[in-house]
Amino acid sequence: MGRIKLDRTDRRLLRDLQADGRMTNVELAARAELSAPPCLRRVRILENAGFIQGYHATLNAEALGFAETAFIQVGLERQAETDLNAFELLTLGWPEVRETYMLEGVNDFLLKVVTKDQRAYRRFLSLLTGSPNVIHVKTMRVVRRAKHDVGVPIELDEPT
């Protein structure tokens, strides 16, 4: 489907679903001042157009025993496209890596890593530093998280 222009109602639907993906269609429709069938049609259009990529539950890492979170900057020896792709594929196989970003600048990648404890964290670091093409690793362990907003900041009115 081609690119669609979002109106205020579309942005409202996206904002509300981003805040609570379990909201019923009836509740979502009421918030957007629509009846349920047109609301559902709009949501399906937004899904098909790629604005909504999926729905998930946000879990409490600490409650599940994951006490360590770190951001790790990774520098590669070579940055040919095949080398960058190979490293990305490698991170897909590591369950501890929750997010992978390719960067511009001094470092090539930024990883968000979550482990149960320091021992698991050190084990992962050993795996990472021994990986092909990895030349340097800089770690930043999280002390505490002050803010956690998911998604993007959606404004109801288009900026002028």
Round to whole Å and give the CA distance between 50 and 42. 12
**pTM of this structure:** 0.86
Q: What DSSP element (H or E) covers 61?
A: none
Q: Is residue 108 part of a domain?
A: yes
Verify that 80 and 131 share a domain, yes or no: yes
Distance set, CA 80 to CA 4, 76, 83, 85, 108 (Å): 35, 10, 5, 9, 11
Report pLDDT digits (tens) over 3-50: 789 999 999 999 999 999 999 999 999 999 999 999 999 999 999 999
Verify that 82 and 137 share a domain, yes or no: yes
Q: What is the CATH classification number for the domain harbouring 103?
A: 3.30.70.920
pLDDT for res 158: 75
Round to whole Å and give the CA distance between 112 and 16. 26
Report pLDDT digits (tens) over 52-88: 999 999 999 999 999 999 999 999 999 999 999 999 9
For residue 99, the tally of other CB atoms under 10 A from its CB is: 11
Report pLDDT digits (tens) over 97-150: 999 999 999 999 999 999 999 999 999 999 999 999 999 999 999 999 999 988
Residue 1: is its pLDDT beyond 80?
no
Instruction: Please give the tally of structural domains in the chain.
Output: 2
pLDDT for res 111: 98
Its domain, for residue 28, covers 8-48
